[in-house]
Structure 1
Amino acid sequence: MTAPGSPPAPPVARAARYAGLVGAILLAVAGYLGGALPDAPLGATPVSIWRAPGGPATLACWLIGTALLVGAWWALRAGAPSTLWAYVTVGLWALPLLVAPPLGSRDVYSYACQGWTYAHGVDPYAVPVAAAGCPWLDAVAPIWRDTPAPYGPVFVLLAALAVGLGGGLTGTIVALRVIAVAGLLLGALCLPGLARAAGVPTRRAAWLTLAGPLVGVHLVAGAHNDAVMLGLLLSGLLIVVRRPGRPSALLVAGVLLGLAVTVKASAVVVAPFAALAAVRGRHTVRSLARDGGWLAGGLLAALLVSSALSGLGFGWVGGLTHSGDSEQWTSPPTAVGLVVDYAGAAAGRNPQAVPVLRTVALLVLVGVLVALWWRAWRTLRAFDDVAERTATTRPRVALHGAALALVATVVLSPVFHPWYATWPLALLALTAQRTTWFVLPAAAAAFLALPDGTNLARFTKAPGAVAMTALLLPALLHALRRSRPR
Structure 2
Amino acid sequence: MTAPGTPPPQSGPPAGSLLARSARYAGLVGAVLLTVAGYLGGALPDAPLGATPVSIWRAPGGPATLTCWLVGTALLVGAWWSLRAGAPSTRWAYVTAGLWALPLLVAPPLGSRDVYSYACQGWTYAHGIDPYAVGVAATGCPWVDAVAPIWRDTPAPYGPVFVLLAALAVGLGGGLNGTVALLRVIAVAGLLLAVLCLPGLARAAGVPTRRAAWLALAGPLVGVHLVAGAHNDAVMLGLLLCGLLIVVRRPGRPSALLLAGVLLGLAVTVKASAVVVAPFAALAALHGRYTVRALVRDGSWLAGGLLAALLVTSALSGLGFGWVGGLTHSGDSEQWTSPPTAVGFVVDYAGALVGRDPQAVPVVRAVALLLLVGALVVLWWRAWRALRALDHTPQPVARFRVALHGAALALVAVVVLSPVFHPWYATWPLALLALTAAGTTWFVLPAAAAAFLALPDGTNLARFTKAPGALAMTALLLTVLVRILRRSQRR
Spell out, residue by residue over 1:438-466, the C-alpha distance to the aligned partner (whole angstroms, 9 max, x if none): 00000000000000000000000000000
Distance in 2, matches of 1:419 and 1:474, equals 24
The residue aligned with 1:411 is 416
- Which residue pairs with 1:58 in the alignment? 65
Pair 1:182–1:18, CA change in 2 (3 A): same
Q: Residue 278 of structure 2 corresponds to which residue in structure 1?
A: 271
Does structure 1 residue 339 correspond to structure 2 residue 339? no
1:13 to 12, 15, 20: 20
Measured on the aligned residues, the alpha-carbon RMSD in Å equals: 1.3
Question: Who is 1:28 aligned against?
Answer: 35
1:173 correspondence with 2:180: yes
**Do residues 437 (structure 1) and 442 (structure 2) align?**
yes
Tell me the distance in 2 between the aligned counterparts of 1:477 and 1:29: 44
Deviation at 1:304, TM superposition (A): 0.1
TM-superposed CA distance for 1:386, in Å, is 2.7
Give 1:477 deviation, angstroms: 6.3
The letter for the 1-side match of 2:430 is L
Percent identical: 87
How far did 1:346 drift?
1.1
2:440 & 2:252 partners in 1: Cα distance?
32
Structural mapping, 1:75-86, within 5 Å: 75-86=82-93
Contact 2:9 2:438 in 1 (8 A): no
Partner Cα distance (1:428, 1:312) in 2: 34
Q: In the alignment, is the contact (CA less than 8 A) between 1:329 and 1:468 conserved in 2?
A: yes
Equivalent positions of 1:366-405 (< 5 A) are: 366-387=373-394, 390-405=395-410
What is the aligned partner in structure 1 of residue 472 from structure 2? 467
1:295-341: per-residue Cα shift (whole Å, max 9, x none)?
A: 00000000000000000000000000000001100000000000000
Q: Which of the pair has the greater relative contact order for Cα pairs under 8 Å at 6+ separation?
A: 2
Residue 348 (structure 2) pairs with residue 350 (structure 1): no
Give 1:391 shift. Answer: 2.0
CA shift for structure 1 position 476: 5.3
What do residues 251-306 of structure 1 show as CA deviations (whole Å, max 9, x unaligned)? 00000000000000000000000000000000100000000000000000000000
Q: Which runs of no fewer than 5 residues in structure 2 stay unpaired?
A: 1-7
Could you tell me whether the CA contact under 8 Å between 1:437 and 1:479 is conserved in 2?
no
Give runs of ≥4 in structure 1 deviating > 6 Å: 479-482
Q: Deviations over 1:183-241 (max 9, x none)?
A: 00000110000000000100000000000000000000000000000000000000000
User: Normalising to structure 2: TM-score of the pair?
Assistant: 0.96
Looking at structure 1, the residues matched to 301 and 485 of structure 2 have their Cα atoms a distance apart, in angstroms, of 32
- Secondary structure in 2 matching 1:424: helix
| Whole-Å separation in 2 of the counterparts to 1:312 and 1:183 | 23
1:454: which partner in 2?
459
Offset of residue 480 of structure 1? 10
What CA distance in whole angstroms lies between the structure 2 residues aligned with 1:399 and 1:61? Answer: 38
Structure 2: how far apart are the matches of 1:476 and 1:28?
A: 39
Q: 2:149 — aligned with what?
A: 142
Residue aligning to 2:431: 426
Question: In the aligned structure 2, how far is the partner of 1:102 from the partner of 1:478?
Answer: 40
Which AA in structure 2 matches 1:253?
A: A
Partners of 2:304 and 2:482 lie apart in 1 by 36
Choose from 286, 292, 297 the match for 1:285.
Answer: 292
What count of residue pairs does the alignment treat as equivalent?
478
CA distance in 1, matches of 2:356, 2:387: 50
The residue aligned with 1:159 is 166
Q: Which amino acid aligns with 1:428?
A: L
Task: For residue 42 of structure 1, give the secondary structure of its aligned residue in structure 2.
Answer: coil
Q: Distance in 1 between matches of 2:176 and 2:72?
A: 27
